[in-house]
């Protein structure tokens, strides 16, 4: 660290000199603290078991079904979120009226909502005694504690991440391009598919990646709404939770796998965001 | 030649717009200070925003009529629009840009007609280039080809020379003025430059605070400027950089 430079020796300015030294030191302590808070748990995750122990942990019979359930449900939820979210984001991005602003804010709610609350809300909407439970039951559909429930829970918490990114991407689009496309005779749907989507690809892909990562990590809402049934509704985070009681190494190995996937996604999104 | 006739009123943000104009044989040049409502007026004519009152007709056909509740959607108004930075689709090459607006029975025919349109503006050699690889002057020609390929019944040009360097501006201005004479379409050109107004050789309509404050040939405006803006514009002082003597 650079030594503080004092212009006048032992003058009333020494207070200022002290302050100029205190500030960088305080900054270093505070930011170092946060850095350790993030780094130490990761170090614990990676350095408390040998590679052989970690590989053995992955051999646990919990792992295979959990990977399958996770891949299936997160892919389905991503498809659902992208298919429904892209047109919705386009509609939101093009409108500036108060009603659409309210809708936009409401759709961001799941980001700040505690997952447990999401679980209760989903149960009260689609559960047996929920708002639509009897209607669904009459149609022979029972959602809670099924794989469909996992997909719904994941979509509920992950959709806002995709929507936010997609709305932002569509708002960055040069409005003249849309206007010119329309004067060239293009309908709104043609503008959407041939101008808006191709030119917003990077933003949409980034949002999809973040949304998929959020679905991958979904725990609370899934546990409450879909349960923790091996091979049916037990996703990787739930398998980690289940393994924690019997085999810490399995929990640790799966955690490392999820960290690696999350990190790769983050790097990919950063690289994709660069023009 | 048919005429574009506009008489509209409405709001654009804080600004109340109230304008009547007619463009036919010669281009109508719309000038005015920033925030006078020039672009908002173009948006109303295009159909991108809805006037509160008035009528827009083109060659006798009604495009908009507040009283009769006629409001032809903008993709069916048959107007050609060239925005300030030309708005070529960056993900398509020049040929695909021009083909975008062409309706033809087959893909081959669309491409052939797009190629014809590029050729008419002497830019067929640029067909495979993406807009990022075009100079501003080339981009303008490709954008004009794209607009004209649809055989529009009138043209709206928003500051068509503002994106150009001074070095090429004169050539492009001469080319564009010649083109407008050749294409023989009712044309509205928005500009803030006296030399542009002179080159297009049409009536000049001065817009201030959303209203027409003066209209006539440039020479008339120069003889009898009715506002400070017109005086500055016609004396050429308007285009000097700030701080110049």
Does the structure show a pLDDT above 90 at A275? no
pTM of the model as a whole? 0.85
Does the structure show a pLDDT above 90 at A32? yes
| Cβ partners under 8 Å of residue A268, min gap 6 | A209
CA A130 to chain centre: 27
Interatomic CA distance for residues A142 and A145, integer angstroms: 8
Stated as kind and residue range, the H or E segment containing A251 is helix A248-273
Interatomic CA distance for residues A49 and B235, integer angstroms: 83
Task: Tell me the three-class secondary structure of B114-180, residue by residue.
Answer: HHHHHHHCCCHHHCCCCHHHCCHHHHHHHHHHHHHCCCCCEEEEECCCCCCCHHHHHHHHHHHHHHH
User: Residue B7: what pLDDT?
Assistant: 95
User: Residue A129: what pLDDT?
Assistant: 86
- Core vs surface per residue B67-106: b (16+ CB within 10 A) or e: eeeebbebbebbbbbbbebbbbbeebbbbbbbbbbbeeee
Interatomic CA distance for residues B46 and B61, integer angstroms: 14
Which residues of A lie closer than 8 Å to B, measured between beta carbons?
174, 176-177, 179-187, 194-195, 198-199
Q: Which tokens hold the place of A89?
A: 């984001």
Per-residue confidence band for A141, with pLDDT thresholds at 50, 70 and 90: confident
pLDDT tens per residue across span A54-90: 898 898 898 999 999 999 999 999 999 999 999 999 9
Residue from B199, B198, B231 nearest B214 by CA? B231
Contact assessment for residue A242 and residue A234, using Cβ atoms and an 8 Å cutoff: yes
- One digit per residue, pLDDT tens: chain B, 245 residues? 689 999 999 998 889 999 999 998 889 999 999 889 999 999 999 999 999 999 999 998 999 999 999 999 999 999 999 999 999 999 999 999 999 999 999 999 999 999 999 999 999 999 999 999 999 999 999 999 999 999 999 999 999 998 888 888 888 999 999 999 899 999 999 998 888 888 888 899 999 999 999 999 998 998 999 899 998 888 765 444 444 33
Instruction: Report yes or no: B9 at the A interface, CB cutoff 8 Å.
Output: no
Mean model confidence pLDDT for chain A: 90
Does the structure show a pLDDT above 60 at A4? no
Which residues in chain B (158-217) have CB-CB distances under 8 A to chain A?
none
User: Residue B241: what pLDDT?
Assistant: 45
Q: Which tokens hold the place of A20?
A: 């100029």
Answer yes or no: do A184 and B46 touch at CB < 8 A.
Answer: no
pLDDT tens per residue across span A188-209: 999 999 999 999 999 999 999 9
Question: What would you measure as the largest C-alpha separation in chain B, in angstroms?
Answer: 60
Across the interface, of A183, A184, A186, the residue whose CB is closest to B46 is A183
Nearest CA in chain B to A184: B101
Per cent of chain A over pLDDT 90 is 68
Beta bridge partners of B16: B11
Interatomic CA distance for residues B186 and A29, integer angstroms: 71
Interatomic CA distance for residues A219 and A236, integer angstroms: 9
User: Residue B245: what pLDDT?
Assistant: 39
Interatomic CA distance for residues A180 and B143, integer angstroms: 10
Interatomic CA distance for residues A101 and A160, integer angstroms: 14
Kindly write down the DSSP assignment for every residue of A23-49, as one continuous string. Answer: HHHHHHHHHHHHHHHHHHHHHHHHHSS
The phi and psi torsions of B25 (rounded to 5 degrees) equal: -60, -45
Virtual torsion, Cα B141, B144, B148, B149, nearest 10 deg: 60
Contact assessment for residue A144 and residue A151, using Cβ atoms and an 8 Å cutoff: no
Q: For domain A69-115+146-273, which architecture applies?
A: Orthogonal Bundle (1.10)
Does the structure show a pLDDT above 90 at A122? yes
User: Residue B243: what pLDDT?
Assistant: 41
Does the structure show a pLDDT above 60 at A10? no
Per-residue confidence band for A268, with pLDDT thresholds at 50, 70 and 90: confident
Residue bearing tokens 């393994």: A243
Query: Can you tell me whether residue B149 is helix, strand or coil?
Result: coil
Interatomic CA distance for residues A22 and A31, integer angstroms: 14
Residue from B186, B158, B196, B193 nearest B82 by CA? B158
On the CB side of A122, how many CA atoms lie within 13 Å of its CA? 31
Per-residue confidence band for A8, with pLDDT thresholds at 50, 70 and 90: very low
Distance from CA of A187 to the nearest CA of B (A): 7
Query: Can you tell me whether residue B191 is helix, strand or coil?
Result: coil
Residue bearing tokens 């979904």: A218
Q: Which tokens hold the place of B40?
A: 């908002």
Residue bearing tokens 């943000």: B13
Contacting residues of B for A177, CB less than 8 Å apart? 87, 89
Answer yes or no: do A177 and B101 touch at CB < 8 A.
Answer: no
Answer yes or no: do B103 and A185 touch at CB < 8 A.
Answer: yes
Interatomic CA distance for residues A242 and A61, integer angstroms: 12
Across the interface, of B48, B75, B91, the residue whose CB is closest to A185 is B75
Helix, strand and coil content of chain B, in percent to the nearest 5, comes to 40, 25, 40
Does the structure show a pLDDT above 90 at A239? yes
CA A103 to chain centre: 20
User: Residue A37: what pLDDT?
Assistant: 94
- The domain spans of chain A are 69-115+146-273
């Amino acid at each position: 660290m650079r030594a503080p430079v004092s212009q006048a020796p032992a003058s009333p300015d020494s207070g200022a000199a002290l302050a100029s030294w205190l500030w960088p030191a305080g900054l270093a302590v505070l930011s170092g603290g946060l850095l350790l808070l993030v780094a130490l748990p990761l170090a614990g995750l990676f350095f408390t078991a040998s590679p052989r122990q970690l590989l053995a942990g992955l051999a646990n019979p919990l792992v295979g079904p959990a990977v399958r359930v996770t891949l299936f449900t997160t892919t389905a939820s991503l498809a659902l979120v992208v298919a429904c979210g892209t047109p919705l984001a386009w509609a939101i991005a093009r409108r500036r009226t108060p009603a659409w602003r309210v809708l936009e804010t409401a759709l961001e709610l799941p980001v700040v909502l505690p997952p447990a609350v999401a679980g209760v809300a989903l149960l009260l909407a689609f559960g047996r005694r929920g708002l639509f439970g009897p209607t669904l039951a009459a149609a022979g559909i029972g959602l809670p504690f099924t794989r469909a429930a996992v997909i719904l829970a994941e979509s509920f918490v992950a959709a806002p991440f995709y929507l936010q990114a997609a709305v932002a991407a569509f708002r960055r689009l040069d409005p003249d391009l849309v206007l010119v496309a329309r004067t060239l005779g293009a309908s709104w749907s043609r503008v959407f598919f041939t101008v808006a989507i191709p030119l917003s690809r990077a933003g949409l892909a980034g949002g999809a990646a973040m949304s998929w990562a959020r679905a991958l990590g979904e725990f609370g809402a899934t546990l409450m709404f879909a349960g923790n049934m091996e091979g049916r509704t037990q996703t990787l985070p739930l398998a980690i939770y289940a393994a924690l009681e019997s085999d810490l190494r399995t929990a640790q190995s799966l955690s490392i796998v999820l960290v690696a996937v999350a990190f790769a996604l983050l790097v990919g999104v950063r690289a994709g965001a660069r023009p | 030649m048919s005429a574009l006739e506009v008489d509209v009123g409405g709001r654009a943000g804080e600004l109340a717009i109230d304008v009547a104009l007619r463009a036919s044989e010669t281009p109508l040049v719309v000038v005015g200070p920033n925030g006078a409502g020039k672009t908002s007026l173009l948006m109303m004519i295009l159909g991108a925003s809805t006037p509160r009152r008035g009528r827009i007709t083109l060659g006798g056909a009604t495009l908009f009529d507040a009283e009769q509740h006629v409001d032809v959607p903008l993709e069916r108004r048959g107007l050609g629009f060239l925005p300030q930075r030309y708005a070529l689709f960056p993900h398509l090459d020049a040929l695909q840009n021009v083909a975008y607006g062409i309706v033809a029975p087959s893909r081959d025919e669309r491409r052939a007609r797009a190629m014809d349109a590029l050729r008419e503006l002497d830019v067929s050699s640029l067909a495979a280039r993406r807009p990022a690889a075009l100079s501003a002057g080339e981009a303008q020609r490709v954008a004009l080809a794209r607009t004209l390929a649809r055989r529009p019944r009138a043209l709206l040009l928003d500051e068509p020379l503002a994106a150009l360097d001074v070095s090429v501006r004169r050539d492009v201005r001469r080319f564009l003025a010649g083109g407008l004479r050749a294409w023989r379409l009712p044309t509205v050109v928005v500009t803030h430059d006296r030399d542009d107004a002179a080159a297009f050789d049409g009536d000049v309509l001065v817009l201030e605070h959303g209203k027409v404050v003066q209209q006539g040939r440039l020479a008339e405006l120069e003889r009898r400027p009715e506002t400070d803006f017109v005086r500055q514009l016609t004396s050429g002082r308007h285009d000097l950089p700030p701080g110049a003597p």
